[in-house]
Amino acid sequence: MQLSASPYEERLTAPRTWWLVCFLVGVSIALILLPFGVLPLLGGLAGGTAVAAVVASSYGSVRIRVVGDSLIAGDAKIPVSALGEAHVLDAEEARAWRTYKADPRAFLLLRAYIPTALRVEVTDPSDPTPYLYLSTREPERLAAALDAARAA
């Protein structure tokens, strides 16, 4: 398998403010455990913060990659030959495709904290999925990588 001329990889990491929320979860658990003493309070702070951080990290660990002749988006692996035109969506258009324009059969790799997206038509007649909606911080670069993989 030959790699595309324009490989693409993006990790949809959680925003920095979520890490503050993780700490605040730890603080709230520590306050709940305050009546039981200092050691449970410290354990609640450390444990609550750690568990919340693991949840935030796993949610933000999803990746979008173009490798060779495949688009890998989260757990989905789609050959670029089954994909049609890619539409770059600005923040307003992406919100519209997440809400009232959305098709329930579509594949959504959605992260609400990322305002821009790429909508890619699915051209495989045996696939009932009409399009892929991919939250991405760099939709133009992802579209270019898909075009390069299709041309290779």
Per-residue pLDDT of 120-146, as tens digits, reads 999 999 999 999 999 999 999 999 999
Are residues 48 and 14 part of one domain? yes
- Residue 31: pLDDT band by 50, 70, 90 thresholds? very high
Are residues 74 and 54 part of one domain? no
- Residue 6: pLDDT band by 50, 70, 90 thresholds? low
Q: Is residue 38 part of a domain?
A: yes
Q: Which position has the higher pLDDT, 150 or 118? A: 118
What residues contact 118, with CB distance under 8 A and at least 6 apart? 86, 87, 88, 89, 132, 133, 134, 136, 139, 142, 143
Q: Is residue 1 part of a domain?
A: no
- Residue 1: pLDDT band by 50, 70, 90 thresholds? very low
Are residues 14 and 83 part of one domain? no
Q: Is residue 91 part of a domain?
A: yes
Q: Which position has the higher pLDDT, 114 or 112? A: 114
pLDDT score of 4: 41
pTM over 0.95: no
Are residues 86 and 55 part of one domain? no
Q: Which position has the higher pLDDT, 3 or 29? A: 29
Domain that residue 82 falls in:
69-151
Q: Is residue 44 part of a domain?
A: yes
Q: Is residue 35 part of a domain?
A: yes
Task: Provide the domain count of the chain.
Answer: 2
Q: For all residues of the chain together, what is the average pLDDT?
A: 92
